[in-house]
Structures are given as structure tokens and as C-alpha cells.
Amino acid sequence: MKFILKPLLMIVAMALGMTAAATLPARALVELNVNKGNVEPLPIAITDFQGGDALGAEISGIVSADLKRSGLFAPIDKSAFIEKISNPDATPRFEDWKVINAQALVTGSVSKEADGRVRAQYRLWDTFAGQQMSGEQFFANDANTRRVAHIIADAIYERLTGEKGYFDTRVVFIDESGAKNARKKRLAIMDQDGANIRYLSDGRSIVLTPRFSPNRQEITYMSYESGQPKVYLLQIETGQRELVGDFPGMTFAPRFSPDGQKVIMSLLRDDGNSNIFAMDLRSRSTTRLTNSTAIDTSPSYSPDGSKVVFTSDRGGRAQIYVMGADGSGQTRISFGDGVYSTPVWSPRGDLIAFTKQTAGEFQIGVMRVDGSGERILSTGFQQEGPTWAPNGRVLMFFRDSAGGPKLVSVDLTGRNEQSIPTANFASDPAWSPLLE
């Protein structure tokens, strides 16, 4: 079986010279603070990119949708615009934008080069300071115009918030179709906004829990294709698959180490309990990390690779534990009223996201790595399985309602919840690192 993805694009970024007299010091217009009360989204005007016929409007539409979904920006309706931008490189009439309360303005252009590549450039303006904040141009092959738009959105997000963006990313997930008692489950991959879906398995076997390698080219997941449920690796570009390890029983709940050299997972013991093992993908050697007569599962490395957070019911009901990457110092960190599972370490290292069951509901929340400061971001009848955006500011998870699961994202304030459009039911999302 071979799954060919579009060839990776060559993105060439170049800074555009400032047209304003002075270069601004880096100043964020949006402050990211999860503990702050209501964060007013920043009003921003995103004009249609000039040239390229429909392409210009398409790119500005994607940029606008990305920024809006972050919850940090409020793109202004184009019908309110006063100045019609004819030259995106010329200094705009700031008064025209201040009067409609656009704090920031994006202008840009797109064109096709003689060699078939697409050239897109943008400029970001601080209307109240009356200056350009940033400007860049990108070259990409024709098939990747959506990626160019996401990269521009990331650049704007980063310039205005002071933090890396997360729009030029993908999500692997399980596409689900058919009746609940006969669900067809397929491995699928798409852009973070739901576009460009591609299927990576045919649905003949149950597949679950895909997770990205830090190299973005590989995923690990669980499949029933051999009869026994086992953990596999899949090369996204070539479709090449391989079994991870040679264990007698079921292997499940896999994740990569931050350096991509190991897969950590659960192995079923003969007595019916499950313990955590790590396998080095080069040497094929395996290391046992837990040895309890309990369910130990859902392991996730800290971003520096020194620790592992996991679920265990060794204390009676499922709770969250942290240990060293060698299995040392296993310590319970969750003590709230309920059952905790699916812990995932933030890529920033500061938080652990989890699923909590309490009072007949399922919650998605975060806690600090010592278990303190628990905050619930979303509550529902049936929802689980958070995954982090690479900047550690947004979580995606799946929620079962109206007959099947769908993907939902929520930011760390818990106030900005967004559904991710998918054609079928969808579960087990896993966010990629930023593409390169």
C-alpha cells in the first residue's frame, strides 16, 4: 500500500524592507495571559491580496479564518473598509483604518512566477503607531497555496502576540463512519483547519490513537490488522509500515519521545494488567518503566525527555502519575475528585492536559506538572483525548454527541471553543509540530 502526499513545498521567506522611516522595536499588540479576565480580541483588517485573481481573496480568507479561530483576533468585515488598497507596498492611509478601529492592517500581493511558483508577500501595519511592523515574501509551488496562507497567518500571529503560531500544522486522526456498533475507522491526516484530508488506511482493520513523530514524517498508531492489537510505525510519504517491537501480547497507547528515537507504550501482561515500556527504534532494545499489578497506560514524555507522565489505577481508580524517563520516582500528581486519564505533557513543558471524569461528565483540563493549579477548560457528556498545538496555547480533543465523535479545539482560557470541520465522524486527534 502506498500513500503519496503532495510533494513538500519549498518555502523561501525573505524579509520585505520597511517603508516607514524607522524600524519598530518588537512590540506585541496582543497579550497572552490565560489568567486574565476577558481578553478582547484585537480588531484587525485583512485586505484581499492583490493579483492572482481569486487566489488573492482566497489567501486573505485563510489568513483571516486562522486568526479569527485563535480567539485573539477579530477580523473586521471588508465592507467596512474605507481605503481601497491598490498598492500593497505603499504606506496606507492610517486615518482610514483607525476610524474603523483596525489596530492592525494586513496588505499583500500574490503572483505567479515564470517558473510556475507562487510568490506571496504581506505587510503588517500598526495603524495607531503609523508604521509597518513586519513584511515578508514567500515562494511556493502551486499546490501549496493554502500552506502559504497558513505561514503568513503564523507570521502575523507571532509578530502580534510574541509567540509562535500553530497554523502551518497538520492533524492525524481517526476518521469514523458507519453505525456505532459497526464503525469503520480509518487513519487520516489533514491541515489543522480541516482542509486537505487524506486517508492513510483503508478501514478494513480497527486503527486507533495515531501520534506524530517530531520529524513530522512518521506516525505511530495501534492497529488490529494482525488479529492482535499492536503498535505500528507508518511513514506518511511512502506508506511503509512496520511493527514496533516483538511482544507477546497487545501493545497500545504509543507516543514518540521528543527526539523521535523511542516509542513509549503499554504492553499487556499475562495477568491482564498493563505496564509501560519504551523501545529504542535504532537498537530495538526495550526498557520496562513500570512493573505494577495495575493498569499503567497513556504515557507521554516531557519535552526535554527527562520525565514521563502516565495513567495508573494502582491506587484503586485511574489517576495521573509522573516518573523519570528510566521509571524512577513514580509519584501521583492528581488528587481531585474524579478519575483522571490521557495525560499529555505540553510542548512548552509547563502544563499537563488530561481527561477527567467526574459527576457523570467528561472534562478536558490542565494542571501544572506537580499536579497543582488544576483548571477545567471544557465539560461535556462524552469527550476525551487532548492534544497540544505546538505552541502550547490550544488543545484539540474529541467530543461524542449527536451519534458520533467530532473534533473540537479550546484555548487555555477555556473561552474559545471551536469545532473542526470533518466530513465524517472524527476522533483521536494528534497535532503535528510546525511544518518546515
Residue 225 found at the interface with other proteins (CB under 8 A) = no
Q: Which residue is it, cell 527504534?
A: 281
Residue 334 found at the interface with other proteins (CB under 8 A) = no
Find the part of the chain contacting other proteins (CB under 8 A) among 13-21, 52-60, 201-209, 283-291: 201-209
Instruction: Name residues contacting other proteins, limited to 368-407 (CB under 8 A).
Output: 381-382, 384-385, 400
Residue 359 found at the interface with other proteins (CB under 8 A) = no
Residue 27, C-beta contacts closer than 8 angstroms, at least 6 positions apart: 126, 133
Residue 317 found at the interface with other proteins (CB under 8 A) = yes
Residue 428 found at the interface with other proteins (CB under 8 A) = yes
Residue 116 found at the interface with other proteins (CB under 8 A) = no
**Gap between the Cα atoms of 33 and 433, Å rounded:** 22
Residue 355 found at the interface with other proteins (CB under 8 A) = yes
How many chain residues touch other proteins (CB under 8 A)?
42
Per CB under 8 A, the list member of 79, 181, 283, 328 interacting with other proteins is 181
Residue 115 found at the interface with other proteins (CB under 8 A) = no
State the minimum distance, in angstroms, from the CB of residue 397 to other proteins: 10
Residue 223 found at the interface with other proteins (CB under 8 A) = no
344 pairs with which residues across the strands? 353
Which of 335, 381 has the CB closer to other proteins?
381
Find the part of the chain contacting other proteins (CB under 8 A) among 13-21, 49-57, 67-75, 225-233: 225-233
Which of 154, 176 has the CB closer to other proteins?
176
Nearest CA among 347, 11, 331, 356 for reference residue 166: 347
Which of 281, 320 has the CB closer to other proteins?
320
Per CB under 8 A, the list member of 42, 104, 318, 420 interacting with other proteins is 318
**Gap between the Cα atoms of 300 and 290, Å rounded:** 14
Per CB under 8 A, the list member of 6, 180, 204, 288 interacting with other proteins is 180
**Gap between the Cα atoms of 297 and 299, Å rounded:** 6
State the minimum distance, in angstroms, from the CB of residue 224 to other proteins: 8
Instruction: Name residues contacting other proteins, limited to 67-106 (CB under 8 A).
Output: none
Instruction: Name residues contacting other proteins, limited to 230-289 (CB under 8 A).
Output: 249-250, 252-253, 266, 268, 270-274
Which of 40, 337 has the CB closer to other proteins?
337
State the minimum distance, in angstroms, from the CB of residue 229 to other proteins: 7
State the minimum distance, in angstroms, from the CB of residue 311 to other proteins: 6
**Gap between the Cα atoms of 19 and 23, Å rounded:** 9
307 pairs with which residues across the strands? 324
Dihedral sign, CA of 91, 95, 100, 101?
Answer: positive
**Gap between the Cα atoms of 59 and 64, Å rounded:** 9
Residue 342 found at the interface with other proteins (CB under 8 A) = yes
Residue 206 found at the interface with other proteins (CB under 8 A) = yes
Main-chain phi, psi angles of 69, to 5 degrees: -65, -20
State the minimum distance, in angstroms, from the CB of residue 429 to other proteins: 12
Q: Which residue is it, cell 471553543?
A: 417
**Gap between the Cα atoms of 116 and 124, Å rounded:** 26
Residue 295 found at the interface with other proteins (CB under 8 A) = yes
Site of interaction with other proteins (CB under 8 A)? 179-181, 183, 185, 206, 208-209, 222, 227-229, 249-250, 252-253, 266, 268, 270-274, 295, 297-298, 311, 313, 317-318, 339, 341-342, 355, 357, 381-382, 384-385, 400, 427-428
